[in-house]
């Protein structure tokens, strides 16, 4: 601290030492435990809030997807793909696509099955995480 001058240097140094040399309080461990508990509480609240927000966001997303008619659109795309595939089976490119992607994009029912499987996996991850945390 450059703004401290003069003959009080010794006193200032001793004062800084005196401030730094605090005795340990008799209830130091109790205080540490209190802070630790508060930290754990904050952590728990934060996890619950994030989890709740994630759940709410996920639900909103699923509802929006269903309301947008995505499943119907995918079904229509699947049907169109099959029509194109039937007409172009002789072309090498179409054959390659057919081998790579099978019969084309999934139908509505397949999308629902996949969503269900992903939801189960997500639930499994959530449960294992919850068991680990709590």
Partner 1 sequence: MTQTPVFLGLAARASAHDMDLVSLSVGGDRNAFGELVRRHGSRVRALLRRMGADPAMADDLAQDAFLAAFEQIAEFRGEGAFAGWVGRIAARLYIRRWRREARMPLGAEATDEDTDPRMRETGANTRIDLDQALKGLSKVERLCVSLCYGAGLSHAEAAAALNAPLGTVKSHVKRGLDKLKGALVAEPSPSAQERAYNE
Instruction: Mention every residue, 6+ apart, whose C-beta is less than 8 A from residue 78.
Output: 103, 104, 105, 106, 107, 108
Instruction: Please work out, in degrees rounded to the nearest 5, the angle formed at the alpha carbon of residue 62 by the alpha carbons of 67 and 42.
Output: 140
In terms of CB distance, is 20 or 93 closer to partner 1? 20
CA 115 to chain centre: 18
In terms of CB distance, is 41 or 95 closer to partner 1? 41
In terms of CB distance, is 8 or 72 closer to partner 1? 8
Nearest-approach distance from CB 2 to partner 1, in angstroms: 8
In terms of CB distance, is 38 or 103 closer to partner 1? 38
Nearest-approach distance from CB 55 to partner 1, in angstroms: 22
Nearest-approach distance from CB 32 to partner 1, in angstroms: 4
CA dihedral 65→70→115→134, nearest 10 degrees, is: -10
Q: Rule CB under 8 A: which residues touch partner 1?
A: 1-4, 8, 11-12, 14-16, 18-26, 28-29, 31-36, 38-40, 42-43
Nearest-approach distance from CB 87 to partner 1, in angstroms: 58
Sign of the four-CA dihedral 95, 99, 103, 107: negative
């Amino acid at each position: 601290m450059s703004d401290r001058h003069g003959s009080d240097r010794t006193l200032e140094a001793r004062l800084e030492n005196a401030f730094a040399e605090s005795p340990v309080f008799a209830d130091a461990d109790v205080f540490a435990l209190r802070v630790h508990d508060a930290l754990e509480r904050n952590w728990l609240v934060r996890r619950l809030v994030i989890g709740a927000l994630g759940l709410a966001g996920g639900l909103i997303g699923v509802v929006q997807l269903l309301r947008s008619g995505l499943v119907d659109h995918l079904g229509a795309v699947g049907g169109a793909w099959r029509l194109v595939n039937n007409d172009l089976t002789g072309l090498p490119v179409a054959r390659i696509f057919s081998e790579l992607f099978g019969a084309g994009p999934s139908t509505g029912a397949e999308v629902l099955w996949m969503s269900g499987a992903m939801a189960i996996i997500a639930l499994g991850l959530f449960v294992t995480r919850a068991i680990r945390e709590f």
